[in-house]
Chains A and B, each alone.
Chain A
Amino acid sequence: MTGEWLPACIYWSLTALARATPLLFACLGGLVSESSGVINFALEGMMLAGAFGAVWAAHAFGSPWWGLLGGAMAGMALGALHALACLSLRANQIVSSIALNLLAAGATGTLLNQVFQAYGTSPTVGRLPSVGEYVRGGFPGEAAWGVRVLDALPLPALLAVGCTLVVLFVFQKMALGLVIRACGEDPDGARACGIEVARVRFGAVLCSGLLAGLGGASLSIGALAQFVERMTQGRGYLAIAALILARWNPKGVLPATLLLGGAEALSDWLAVAWPRLPHQGLLAVPYGMCLLVLAVHVGRRRAPSALGRL
């Protein structure tokens, strides 16, 4: 039995990572923005914009790689709106976030109709290759078992892990990370220390939009090959839950999102293994898991001290 058990385990963890990919991107985005002291509840809207932008660009330029770029740009555009509203116009950060979420939901639906003359779902576009496919593209011929397993891993997952490492590096090793956190801890103090708080925060929110947009793209052209209206299904909010779970600690983001992604993979598996279990109950598994962990999890680190304060 062990011969089957090991591949199943690997397969399951790869599925968990694939499921966690959009969450991981969005959670990183939330981390960057909130560490600098700007609340970002607009992750949901940014993901949705990213998902649509990716399909649009992939359709227009005929390549999923352009789609990835388009998704990032669309998320960043929403990030720019959020930064403009919160930092330049000093709007309430939560209100701005909600407005952007509503805007993204409405605008993607309208644009879907205008651009593709379609309701609900867009036509199919090119999909990003999985890691397995990508590797096989370079070495034609019979693939080894290890490469075939990697078919389960979409390319954006690798990109997401890479981004995590970059963010980790920035927060742990670079002056930039310290400066971002200083802005989130005490903006007046940071200003007095010679940090240009407004600029740092603007950059952080833009970067946050970019990451969340990539998250959306990984849904629409990574997991699927089309845009479905409201396809993010609250993953932006789940990413915020993951951020709280990680206690705003860059090191915690990957485990937290893997946990939630794992719960999603588990609910998929349960749906296949026990088809008679109620479907709705299974869908709630990640959310239930999230509540459970938040309830028992205690730590020293808390939200940035000046979160939401200008």
Chain B
Amino acid sequence: MHDRPEIRFCSVSKRFGSLWANREISFDVHRAEIHAIVGENGAGKSTLMKLLCGHFLPDEGFIALRGRESRFRSPRQAAEAGLGLVSQQPHTFPQLTALENVLAGHPPGLFRLLRPAAARTRVEALCSRFGFELPLDQRAGELAFAHRQQIQLLRVLYRDASVLVLDEPTSLLAPPEAERLLDLLRGLRFKDHTVLFVSHRLSEVLSLADRVSVLSKGRCVGTYATADVTRERIARLIAEDGGAVGSPPADRAANELGGAHAARLSISHAPVVEEEDRAMRGPAPNNRQLVSLAAGAGTSSCPHERSVGSRGTRIALSLDGVRSEVSTDESPLDRVSLELVEGESFGVGGVVGNGQRSLARVVSGLEAAVEGGIHLAGEDVTRMSLRDRRLRGLRWLPANLTDEGMLPAASLLDNCLLGLQREMRFQRYGWLRSKPVFRWASAMLSAGDVRYPALGYPASSLSGGNLQKLGLCRALEGKPRVVLLEQPSRGLDLLAQKQLRSRVHELRAQGVSFLVISHDLEELFELCDRIGVLFRGALMGVQNTNQARRETLVRWMLGGP
């Protein structure tokens, strides 16, 4: 059927310094196929995609496109050959409007006239076909992350690229949006497009891809047809070379918790996938105990809108009818009230733009609440600055780390210290004590399994997943009381996600509360005792995780009762 592969990787190697990012990778991608690439953080997936799209040349081996060796010296040449990359960190031009952003990505003849009206019609048609609700006249800098990702996707679609390369496209999308994206990719395959995508979500990979290639430590472990391979097998392959995973996650038997949210979205997957899904989703056994322990008090009462005060434990964080400033891209909070007891983990879900960002900004102190009060362990912190809240034990992992949590050009050491520099153990009379800082930072990073070249390297030298790990390390460092996690497992591989879960449960046992904000329902199910859903800035309802039904949550996300 396929006489000639669309893309052939032929023992491709790429080295950065002494580190082999890709080592002798060989596999084929067929025409009109959806080909998934999986692997843990730092396995070289993003590097491989960038090699393909002309960001740099391979040191050894070659990549052949439609039977001819392609040596793209620039992304422009790759784009002209019909390749389109949607990268993990969306590259948008903050002061150009969304529409201009899409057009700028279309490799243009410089002296061509823009035809805004015609372009707008085409982009609008694409938007409505794929269900994007993108405000075309808004500046990209004011748009939510998911919208910026849509811009990237639109650029590629607008250009009519025949090969789409997507680097973790769904990592920040809520289930309804992610499903729509996956449908879109399926549709593109029927129109003879080839899709290469990198993902950490195995359920997605198995339901979408025709074939999957597994990368591990820069090498390609194998390529499999998704019809012939099980989820456990892939998980084992990913972990195999890494060696760090003691037992593959599939060993954890499907349990009732898995069953409780096996009710899926209306778009049905292959039944076999669903079964494997459930097996994977089961959290670690100790996790189960904690969940039932923490949620125990509420099991007898009504599943929705349960009051937590009855637990008799101390309240760590409470929001009381909080409203926030109206902003351009995000629904403001509309009288949100919630209470977190010590050691509890509360999840907030919702479709992008429905107020999760506002919630994070208001709770962290970046934005002031217009109305209502916020109490941290009984103390009114409504008017307190970010720093004062931090001193009282509130920590925050922002969703877009490179914008709000890191200085990409500054060294890793500086980034570790960011926000902690005034603590007495790190400074004396305003002078940083370099040795303790250095020791502390290296200990923290190695404990958090962050893979980094040296502390003096800029933060931008880390891969997306490692950067996230660094952010998590910093958020969980010291003695937090309430930790606000936004999209915590963004870019994390299965192993790192597991480590995150166990770290969260460990801290919760010590009485730390978590407020988890995520677009990913699976993540919320795994990390939280209770899950609430925001819609247009209002809390639609709250469910106990062990009684929660996916359908209800998804209905709330879309504004249903």
B partners with A: yes
Residues in chain A near residue B94, CB distance under 8 A: 185-186, 305
* A192 interface contact, C-beta 8 A: yes
What chain A residues lie within 8 Å of B509 (beta carbons)? none
Per-residue B-contact encoding for A177-220, CB less than 8 Å = 1, 0 else: 01101100110111111111000100000000000000000000
Q: Which of A175, A181, A190 has the most CB of B within 10 A?
A: A175
Known: A173-B114, A194-B78, A194-B105. 19 other contacts (CB 8 A): A173-B113, A174-B113, A175-B103, A175-B109, A175-B111, A178-B96, A178-B108, A181-B96, A181-B104, A185-B96, A192-B87, A192-B91, A193-B91, A194-B75, A194-B80, A196-B74, A200-B110, A301-B95, A302-B95
Q: How far is the CB of A100 from chain B (nearest CB, A)?
A: 27
Q: Is the CB of B104 within 8 A of A190?
A: yes
Report which of B75, B95, B114 forms a contact with A305, defined as CB distance below 8 A: B95
B403: min CB distance to chain A, Å? 12
Does B95 lie within 8 Å of A174, measured CB to CB? no
Q: Which of B87, B107, B141 contacts A194 (CB 8 A)?
A: B107
Q: Which of A181, A193, A301, A302 contacts B107 (CB 8 A)?
A: A193
- Smallest beta-carbon distance A186→chain B, Å: 5
Q: From B50, which residue of chain A is reached at the shortest CB distance?
A: A192
Interfacial residues of chain B within 48-81, with CB under 8 A of chain A in the complex: 55, 74-80
- A301 vs B141: C-alpha distance when bound (angstroms): 11
Are A195's CB and B111's CB within 8 A? no
Inter-chain CA distance A31–B87, complex, in Å, is 31
Contact of A195 with B95 in the complex, beta carbons under 8 Å: no
Is B114 touching A189 in the complex (CB atoms < 8 A)? no
Cross-chain contact B113 with A189 (CB below 8 angstroms): no
Interface string of B118-157 (1 = CB under 8 A from A): 0000000000000000000000010000000000000100
A181–B76 CB distance below 8 A: no
In the complex, which residues of chain A have a beta carbon less than 8 angstroms from the beta carbon of B80?
194
Cβ contact within 8 Å between A176 and B96: no
What are 28 A-to-B residue pairs whose CB atoms are below 8 Å? A174-B110, A175-B103, A176-B110, A178-B104, A179-B110, A181-B93, A181-B95, A182-B93, A185-B93, A186-B92, A189-B91, A189-B92, A189-B93, A190-B93, A192-B87, A192-B91, A193-B79, A193-B105, A193-B107, A193-B155, A194-B76, A194-B78, A194-B79, A200-B110, A301-B95, A305-B94, A305-B95, A305-B141
In the complex, the chain B residue whose C-beta lies closest to that of A199 is: B110
Check: B85 CB closer than 8 A to any chain A CB: yes
User: Is B112 positioned at the interface, with any CB of A under 8 Å from its CB?
Assistant: yes
A304 neighbours in B (Cβ, 8 Å): 95
In angstroms, Cα B95 to Cα A182, docked, is 9
**B60 CB, min distance to chain A CBs, angstroms:** 24
One digit per residue, 1 when the CB lies within 8 angstroms of any chain A CB and 0 when it does not, for chain B 95-107 equals 1100010011101
Most A-side CB within 10 Å, residue of B55, B87, B114: B114
The listed residue (A173, A200, A302, A305) touching B93 by CB distance below 8 A is A305
How many B residues face the partner with a CB closer than 8 A? 30
Report the bound CA distance from A178 to B119 in whole Å. 14
B103: chain A residues within 8 A (beta carbon) = 175, 178
Q: Is the interface of A mostly helix, strand, loop or mixed?
A: helix
Contact: B95 with A196, CB < 8 Å?
no
Residues from chain B with Cβ under 8 Å of A174 in the complex? 110-114
A binding-site residues for B, Cβ under 8 Å? 173-176, 178-179, 181-182, 185-186, 188-196, 200, 301-302, 304-305
Q: Is the pair B95, A175 in contact by a Cβ cutoff of 8 Å?
A: no
In chain B, what residue has the closest Cβ to A178? Answer: B104
| Contact indicator B93/A186 (Cβ below 8 Å) | yes
Establish whether residues A185 and B111, one from each chain, have CB atoms under 8 Å apart when the complex forms. Answer: no
Residues of A within 8 A of B95 (CB): 181, 185, 301-302, 304-305
CB-CB nearest in chain A for B53:
A192
* Assembled-state Cα–Cα distance A181/B92 (Å): 12
B110 to chain A, nearest CB (A): 5
- Nearest chain B CB to A198's CB is how many angstroms away? 10
What per-residue 1/0 map shows which CB atoms of B250-263 lie under 8 Å from chain A? 00000000000000
Interface digits, B402-439 against A, CB 8 Å rule (1 contact, 0 not)? Answer: 00000000000000000000000000000000000000
3 tightest A-B contacts by CB? A189-B91, A185-B93, A194-B76
Residues of B within 8 A of A179 (CB): 104, 108, 110
Please measure, in the bound complex, the distance between the C-alpha atom of A199 and the C-alpha atom of B9, giving whole angstroms: 31
* B28, chain A: closest CB distance, angstroms: 26
Bound-state Cα–Cα, A185 to B151, Å? 15
Closest A residue to B80 using CB positions: A194
CB atoms of B114 and A186 under 8 A apart: no
Task: Kindly list chain A residues whose C-beta atoms are within 8 Å of the C-beta of B79.
Answer: 193-194
A190 and B79 alpha carbons, distance in the complex (Å): 12
User: Considering the chains assembled together, what is the distance between the CA atoms of A283 and B111 in angstroms?
Assistant: 43
B contact residues around A186 at 8 Å (CB): 91-94
Interface centre among B76, B91, B113 (most CB of A within 10 A): B91
CA distance A305 to B142 in the complex (A): 13
Contacts of B85 in A (CB 8 A): 192
Checking A175, A191, A305 against B108 with a beta-carbon cut-off of 8 angstroms, the contacting residue is: A175
A191 touches B75 (CB 8 A): yes
B518 nearest CB across to chain A (Å): 26
Query: Which chain A residues lie closer than 8 Å to B76 at the CB level?
Result: 194-196
Chain A residues in 8 Å Cβ range of B91: 186, 188-189, 192-193
Residues of chain A within 8 A of B104, CB atoms compared: 178-179, 181-182, 190, 193, 195
Give Cα A16 to B319, complex, Å.
Answer: 60
CB distance from A188 to the nearest CB of B (A): 6
A194 to B155, CA, bound (A): 11
Residue of A192, A194, A195, A305 with highest tally of chain B CB at under 10 A: A194
Bound form: Cα–Cα A175–B96 in Å: 13
Once bound together, how far apart are the Cα atoms of A192 and B107, in whole Å?
10
- Cα of A176 to Cα of B111 in the assembled complex, Å: 6
In-complex Cβ contact of A182 among B96, B109, B112, B141 (8 A): B96
CA distance A179 to B108 in the complex (A): 8
